[in-house]
Amino acid sequence: MSTHETEYPVWRRPVLEDEDLAQQAEHLRRRHLLLDPKFPWEMNDDVLKPMYQTSRTFWVLFVALFGLVMMGVIAWGAQIYWGLGITGLNRPVNWGLFLVNTVYFIGIGHAGTFISAALRVMKVEWRRPISRAAEALTLFALAAAGLSIFMHLGRLWKAYWMLPYPNQRQLWPNFHSPLMWDLMAILTYVTGSVLFVFLGLLPDIAMARDHTRGWRHRLYTILSLGWRGTEKEWAYHTTSLDIFCYVIIPVMICVTTIVSWDFAMALQPGWTSTIFGPYFVTGALYAGVAAVIIVMAIIRNGMRLKYFLREEHFNGMGIFLLLLTFAWAYFYFSDYIAPWYHGEPVMKVIFDLFRRGWAAPLWFLMIFSNVLLPAATLWSRRVRRSIPTMLVIAIFVQIGMYLERYLIIPVSLGYNELPFSWGIYIPRTGVILTIAAFAFVVLGYLVFSRFFPLIPAWEILEGQILQGLRRIGRALMPTRTELH
């Protein structure tokens, strides 16, 4: 490690003569990551060190999660062998927990892209340390969403029939079905997300390559593709990230919209709705942002990233979550009021079910978790800056959003236009597979966090280079920081 610390003017902390101003500067530094620069080699250490730590907690967690995933694999095997009948899916509820999980995980998968892409193009500064953690969540949430669809397939081994290729049966995909739109949308989104994460990771993989030895060094040498950080590489990297951001945002919006159309295109009471698209997009972002808050809180403590993930980041995410609370409540109400006013008989039954039927506890818990709790608490900066409180609120939002999907899919589906075939869905193997799907996401994240830097060091360094304080009157104010 270099010792010429004084020779790095960019990352040197200015020494202020005035005692009051020095105090102010110290205060601002404690608050803002970008005003609290570290020398790059220290930053690299902070980013890389958590990757080597495999404590006892890590292994206990790893084995437990792996066991849960294996349990799911067995349940899935049983399902493939015995057929989907053992899931409890039947008429009228043909879509159960698997589709709930799909919609839920696709929603979680939105946050990564949105935080990374949208906040990047809008040059929101507090995104920097969060973006990678959010993108990684997107990867595993999308994998879980895709797996959930596969779990729902009766003849899994024929899944590739959906893909367009010149097959022996001379059949090409017929795009009349929303499920085919879904396949194409998810395929596009998964491809885009993987490449997007990789692009952002590239300079950090190169960093990891330069500061590791042994098998890790060899792995990162291959994955870094020979990154050296030349001007041309950076210029192309920046442009490609920009293109990706602008392309992936509409793709992201399109994915959930199409997922919602899987429902809205059916003439099923409770599903057929013209605002399902934006309503699902909002719900997806809402659940996703809350999930990122949970991940941030966990990795901050579990991986000792307190330097990177500060209260200001939770504050920013809290404001974001509050805005999404309003948007979600607005859409939910809009989706509710029109059928309520129409007074269609089946919708009346469904609404009665929510208000005072067997689904009432779920419905009221959803309203509490998704509307009342966040809207009542997130106003306060003290709440937003308190990490345990944010964690609790975010977990409630997750519960609420999961319930919302549950109420929409298997509950509404039990009440179609033919009252003689009404029924209630009791999940069976779906429960095991749902637990396994959650375990899979956490396990994937856990493993990812030991192989790849969860904090984008280059982005933070970029932000810190232009960090600065400007004196206005008696106070020091932080200036904005963006190289491009």
Partner 1 sequence: MANRSVLGLYHEATSTADTIDRLRELGVPDEAITVMSGVPYTPEILGRRPVYERLVPIALIGAVGGFLAALFLTVVTPHLYNIPVGGQPLVPGPPTIIIVFEFTMLGTLLATFGGLLAEIAFPAVGRHEYDYRITEGHMGVLAVVDETLADQVKAALEETGAHDLKVAESNPPPGPRTWQRLALVGGFAVVPTVIGLLFAYSVLAIPLPNQMVNQPSIAFDQGPRLAAPAEAVPVQGPVLIAAQPASEPIPSTADSLQRGGILFNVNCAMCHGPDGSGKGNLSGYFASPPADLTSERVQALSDQEIFMVLTQGWGLMPSMAENLSPVERWDVVNHVRSLRK
Site for partner 1 in 414-453 (CB under 8 A): none
Q: Which residues contact 156 (CB under 8 A, 6 or more apart)?
A: 80, 150
Nearest distance from residue 107's CB to partner 1, in Å?
A: 19
Nearest residue (CB) to partner 1, 52 versus 157 = 157
Instruction: For residue 345, say if its preceding peptide bond is cis, omega within 30 degrees of 0.
Output: no
Q: Is the Cβ of residue 206 or residue 403 nearer to partner 1 in the bound state?
A: 206
Binds partner 1 (CB under 8 A): choice among 147, 415, 458, 467 = 458
Residues 89-128 that bind partner 1 (CB under 8 A): 89-91
List 475's β-bridge partners, or say none. Answer: 472
Which of the ranges 62-70, 125-133, 161-169, 338-346 carries the binding residues for partner 1, by CB under 8 A?
A: 161-169
Closer residue to partner 1 (CB): 145 or 293: 145
Is 388 a binder of partner 1 (CB under 8 A)? no
Residue of 33, 51, 69, 84 interacting with partner 1 (CB under 8 A): 84
Q: What is the rounded CA–CA span in Å between residue 315 and residue 390? A: 9
Which one of residues 13, 27, 67, 164 is an interface residue with partner 1 (CB under 8 A)? 164
CB 308, CB 129: distance < 8 Å: yes
Tell me whether residue 404 is exposed, middle or buried, using C-beta atoms within 10 angstroms of its C-beta: 0 to 12, 13 to 18, 19 or more.
Answer: buried
User: Which one, 277 or 444, has the nearer CB to partner 1?
Assistant: 277
**Is residue 14 exposed (0-12), middle (13-18) or buried (19+ Cβ within 10 Å)?**
exposed
> Of 195, 204, 197, 202, which is closest to residue 51 (Cα–Cα)?
204
- Name 186's Cβ contacts closer than 8 Å, sequence gap at least 6: 106, 142, 145, 146, 149, 255
Span of 8-16, 276-284, 342-350, 385-393 interacting with partner 1 by CB under 8 A: 8-16
Positions in 37-66 near partner 1 (CB under 8 A) = 39-41, 44
- Choosing from 7, 56, 214, 215, the residue that interacts with partner 1 (CB under 8 A) is 7
HSE-CB for 222 with a 13 A CA cutoff: 5
> Is residue 258 near partner 1 by the rule CB under 8 A?
yes
Report the site for partner 1 in 207-246 (rule: CB under 8 A): 207, 210-211, 222, 225-240, 243-244
Q: 175-214 mask for partner 1 (x: CB under 8 A)?
A: xx---xx--xx-xx--xx--x---x---x--xx--xx---
Number of residues binding to partner 1, judged by CB under 8 A:
83
The answer to whether 1 touches 41, Cβ cutoff 8 Å, is yes
Span 128-147, contacts to partner 1 by CB under 8 A: none
Of 17, 19, 122, 168, the residue at the interface with partner 1 (CB under 8 A) is 168
- Total residue count of the chain as it appears in this document: 484
181/276 with CB nearer partner 1: 181
Nearer Cβ to partner 1 (171/360): 171
